Amino acid sequence: MEKLRPGLTTVYSGQNPVVDIVAVHSPNRNSIQSFTSTATGKFWLGDEDMLPRDIPNCRVLVYNHGGSGSIMGAATELVESLVHNRRSESSTERPIMFICHSVGGIIAKQAIIHSKSCENKTLEAAYSIYVSTYSLLFVGMPDSQLLNSGILRDVEDAFEPMMERFRTSSLWEISIPVKDCDMEDFVPVRNSRIG
C-alpha cells in the first residue's frame, strides 16, 4: 500500500465494530508513511499484528487530504466524508476516536469546531461528528511558533473550551520543528518570524 486515494479509506474493520478510529495526517505528507513504524516498517493502523490486535472490534479509517489547500477546507471535507461514510455503514452513532499526526491535529480540531457549529436540524448529520467524538490522540504536534500564527492560533483558541467535553484516554503532544511540517502551501503564515 503506497498511497491512499483522497478522502476516507477504511484500512481495517473488525467484526461488529464498536468504535471508529479516524487517523488524520499532516498535509503534504504521505498518510501511509505518517503511520508506519520506523522500527518494524509496518503500517500500524491496519496491520493486524499492531493496532487491530489491541482493539479488534474497531474500524480504522485514514483521512487523506484531497488538496483543499486550507485548514478549513480540509476540516470541512473531513466532516463531510465522515458523515457520508458513517451513513453508508449505518454507524452514525458509533463513537469516534481521532489519532492525529502533526498538523493533522489542527485539521481534526477544526473539523470538530465546524461540526459543533452545525447544531440546527438541517445540519444534524454534521453535528453528529461532534457528538460522537470521545477521544483524541495527538502525536508530533507542531511547535508553539507555528501554533501562535494566525489561523492556527484561532483554531487552538476555539477548541480549548471544548476539551472538557471529550473523554480523552490519552493525549500525547511532542513538539516537532516547523521546518518538518511542510506547511508553506497549506497555511498562510502572516507576520511570522518562523525560519
> What are the pLDDT digits (tens) for 122-158?
678 898 999 999 888 877 766 555 555 676 778 777 7
Give the confidence band of 176 by pLDDT, cuts at 50, 70, 90.
very low
Domain ranges of the chain: 7-180
Residue 179 has pLDDT above 60, yes or no: no
Q: What is the pLDDT of residue 189?
A: 34
Q: What is the pLDDT of residue 121?
A: 62
Q: Are strands 96-101 and 19-24 parallel, antiparallel or unpaired?
A: parallel
Flag the least confident range among 7-11, 66-70, 76-80, 103-107: 66-70
Q: Which amino acid is at 64?
A: N
What percent of the chain is predicted at pLDDT more than 90? 23
**What pTM was computed for the model?**
0.78
- What CA–CA distance (Å, rounded) separates 32 from 1? 8
- What CA–CA distance (Å, rounded) separates 102 from 25? 7
DSSP secondary structure code for residue 43 in this structure:
B
Residue whose C-alpha is closest to residue 162's, from 133, 128, 119, 187: 133
CATH tag for 7-180 (out of 3.40.50.970, 3.40.50.1820, 3.30.450.20, 3.40.50.1400): 3.40.50.1820
